[in-house]
């Protein structure tokens, strides 16, 4: 197959996986974007999220590598994950219990609080060229779509109309690596149309490690 044909095949496959955004080029200024896109009340959410702050950090920057940062995460993504934990479509022994008692209103308010915090960030270095290459360009021979296409060039998301694609740039490396492995192995199945499961299927342990390294530094 010629490059064009392979490229077309990859694009078509990915288009089926998920109607991915076409706004990759417009992702430059994402640090300034509003991530509180729902109707939740961040002031009420601050109060309601006391227990969450105990693990995820007061401003959503957790210190434990296995507890994800929520600072500047899209509120719609946070609320969706909580509904997934409630429904059992995403499983974690602590989080299933934490999510269970919360009403939709509580979820909206708590998510708004974390979305309103200054966005999570890594140390800003780029020491991982393999991870960077896969993130920005994908891997055409393995039909791996560029992560940046959905998550933005530095993993900070694209724009508020695509709040379903989470902020991942600057997230803890150990947490990222666990999620990447869980998706690849089918232990986490809550991404729309299994997009993440399909994207990661062909990647090796060392490639996932490289990706987690690169993303966490952003």
Stretch that binds ligand HEC, among 24-32, 37-45, 90-98, 121-129 (CB under 6 A): 90-98
**Which of the 8 DSSP states describes residue 64?**
S
Q: Which long-range contacts (CB under 8 A, 24 or more apart) does 5-8 make?
A: 6/140, 6/141, 7/140
Among candidates 147, 186, 189, which has minimal Cα distance to 168? 147
Q: Is 157 left (phi over 0), alpha (psi -120 to 50) or beta?
A: left
Judged by phi (left if over 0) then psi (alpha if -120 to 50, else beta), residue 88 lies in: left
Segment lying near ligand HEC (by CB under 6 A), choices 3-11, 23-31, 38-46, 51-59: 51-59
When asked if residue 71 is in the footprint of ligand HEC (CB under 6 A), the reply is: no
N-terminal to C-terminal alpha carbon distance within the chain = 35
* Residue 120 binds ligand HEC (CB under 6 A): no
CB of 1 to ligand HEC, least distance (A): 21
Stretch that binds ligand HEC, among 4-12, 30-38, 52-60, 117-125 (CB under 6 A): 52-60
**189 lies in the binding site for ligand HEC (CB under 6 A):** no
Bridge partners of residue 144, in order along the sequence: 139
Binding of ligand HEC by 136 (CB under 6 A): no
Distance CA 75, CA 111 (A): 5
Q: Which of 27, 30, 81, 216 binds ligand HEC (CB under 6 A)?
A: 81
Per CB under 6 A, does 140 bind ligand HEC?
no
**Residue 121 binds ligand HEC, judged by CB under 6 A:** no
Give the helix/strand (H/E) hosting 16: helix 3-17
119 binds ligand HEC (CB under 6 A): no
Using alpha carbons, list the distances in angstroms from residue 188 to 4, 14, 172, 200.
33, 19, 18, 12
- 27: DSSP letter: G
Query: Of residues 35, 121, 151, 172, which one binds ligand HEC by CB under 6 A?
Result: 151
Is residue 80 close enough to count as binding ligand HEC by CB under 6 A? Answer: yes
List interacting residues with ligand HEC (CB under 6 A). Answer: 14, 17-18, 20, 49, 51-52, 54-56, 66-68, 70, 78, 80-82, 92, 94-95, 98, 110, 134, 144-145, 147, 149-151, 164-166, 168, 176, 178-180, 190-192, 195-196, 199-200, 211
């Amino acid at each position: 197959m010629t490059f064009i044909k392979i490229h077309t095949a990859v694009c078509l496959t990915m288009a089926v996986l998920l109607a991915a955004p076409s706004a990759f080029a417009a992702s430059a200024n994402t640090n300034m974007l509003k991530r509180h896109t729902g109707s939740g009340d961040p002031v009420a959410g601050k109060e309601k999220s006391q227990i969450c702050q105990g693990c995820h950090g007061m401003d959503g920057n957790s210190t434990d590598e296995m507890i994800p940062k929520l600072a500047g995460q899209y509120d719609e993504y946070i609320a969706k994950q909580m509904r997934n934990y409630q429904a059992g479509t995403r499983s974690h022994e602590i989080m299933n219990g934490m999510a269970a008692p919360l009403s939709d209103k509580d979820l909206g308010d708590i998510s708004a609080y974390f979305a309103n915090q200054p966005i999570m960030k890594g140390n800003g270095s780029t020491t991982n060229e393999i991870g960077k290459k896969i993130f920005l360009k994908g891997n055409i021979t393995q039909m791996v779509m560029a992560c940046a296409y959905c998550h933005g060039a530095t993993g900070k998301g694209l724009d508020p109309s695509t709040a379903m694609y989470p902020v991942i740039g600057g997230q803890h490396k150990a947490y990222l690596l666990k999620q990447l492995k869980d998706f690849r192995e089918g232990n986490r199945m809550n991404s729309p149309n299994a997009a993440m499961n399909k994207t990661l299927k062909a990647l090796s342990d060392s490639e996932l490690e490289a990706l987690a390294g690169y993303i966490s530094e952003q």
